[in-house]
Amino acid sequence: MGGRRGPCSVRPWVNLCRNADAAVPRVPFLPGDDPPGILAAMKSHTDIQSVAVLGAGTMGHGIAHAAALAGYDTRLTDISPEAVTRGLDSIRANLEKGVAKGKVTPEARVAALARLHPAASLEDAVTGADLVVEAAPESLELKREIFRQVGAVAGAGAVLATNTSSLPVGEIAAAAPDPSRVLGMHFFNPVHIMPLLELVRGEATSESTLATALRVGERMGKECIVVRDAPGFATSRLGVVLGLEAMRMLEQDVASAEDIDKAMTLGYRHPVGPLRLTDMIGLDVRLAIADHLHTTLGSEAFRPPELLRRMVAEGKLGRKSGQGFYDWTSIDGLA
């Protein structure tokens, strides 16, 4: 482990190390797995050249950014053409910032932009793509419908991924013709900065599909963890509880939003407080996840607070709408 960013692990399910040597990958082991079988599968991973990203919102444009910068020919589509335009504008601006901060070379920026293409339809984006990443809103029915459409267009060897934060990957996969090629690739916001990629392995996900996703994650410079297809996976299940409890504390007038956030940033060394993070994620996104986890896990800890429902109904979605627990128009000038 040394001074390197450490190996990822979700024990006892997995013992996965970031692959320092692409030629000799270290592989995740799940109970009952046959290591030689996995090694064989690692050799049979799909060589990804092109990526289609479906949905150009908060996550989709970030995934397209990471894919293009990692060297993949990338197509970005959305049911809203304006969302694609906005997404491409954000990618350009974020790459500029990356160059200004010395994190991206000017050459890499130019090359990434040359690899990035808007697509007018799902069919245009998916045709010929080796990897499809769906980043549409958190609705099981919507995602299943998208996977039905993708399955009809994608090539037989393409890997299909959903960026769902909480929904059952197996149920989404069942809408595709070959669920063994489907998995969850759960990126974090902002995708071009956050180092984690949570890979969600459905019941039917093949070793080769997982191996392909691991290699893509590595090429994007992400640290990968592999989790079972359980509600909320590892990240949302823990993160949502904290966010919802912070909202209940705000409702009960325990402290201001700023002070609740400071309790976690200064007292617990969280980089961002739970209310500010909810603003960055989107209150509508958080509400959809909380509703789903409340239903599936049955715990009151996941019941969405009235305050969250009211704010979403009023269009206070956080950073993307300019208003949430914070006024983002004064923080970063977003309207």
Ligand X SMILES: NC(=O)c1ccc[n+]([C@@H]2O[C@H](COP(=O)([O-])OP(=O)(O)OC[C@H]3O[C@@H](n4cnc5c(N)ncnc54)[C@H](O)[C@@H]3O)[C@@H](O)[C@H]2O)c1
Shortest CB 335 distance to ligand X, Å:
16
Residue 19 sits in the site that holds ligand X (CB under 6 A): no
Listing DSSP states for 102-125 in one string gives TSS-HHHHHHHHHHEEE-SSHHHH
Residue 321 sits in the site that holds ligand X (CB under 6 A): no
Contact indicator for 134, 146 with CB cutoff of 8 Å: yes
Shortest CB 5 distance to ligand X, Å:
20
Q: H or E stretch including 160?
A: strand 159-162
Residue 79 sits in the site that holds ligand X (CB under 6 A): yes
CA 5 – CA 224 distance, rounded (Å): 12
Residue 127 sits in the site that holds ligand X (CB under 6 A): no
Work out which of 37, 106, 137, 155 binds ligand X, going by CB under 6 A: 137
Footprint of ligand X on 81-110 (CB under 6 A): 83
In sign, the C-alpha dihedral spanning 60, 288, 237, 205 is negative
Shortest CB 35 distance to ligand X, Å:
31
**Residue whose CB is less far from ligand X, 188 or 302:** 188
Q: Cis peptide leading into 35, omega within 30 of 0?
A: no
Residue 285 sits in the site that holds ligand X (CB under 6 A): yes
Residue 132 sits in the site that holds ligand X (CB under 6 A): no
Which residue in the shown chain puts its C-beta closest to ligand X? 57
Contact indicator for 76, 125 with CB cutoff of 8 Å: yes
Residue 54 sits in the site that holds ligand X (CB under 6 A): yes
Torsion, Cα 12 14 17 22, to 10 degrees, reads 160
Strands 9-10 and 14-15: antiparallel
Chain centroid offset of residue 113 CA: 21
Work out which of 38, 146, 199, 260 binds ligand X, going by CB under 6 A: 146
Residue 279 sits in the site that holds ligand X (CB under 6 A): no
Residue 165 sits in the site that holds ligand X (CB under 6 A): yes
Q: Which residues bind ligand X (CB under 6 A)?
A: 54-60, 78-80, 83, 135-138, 146, 163-165, 186, 188-189, 281-282, 285
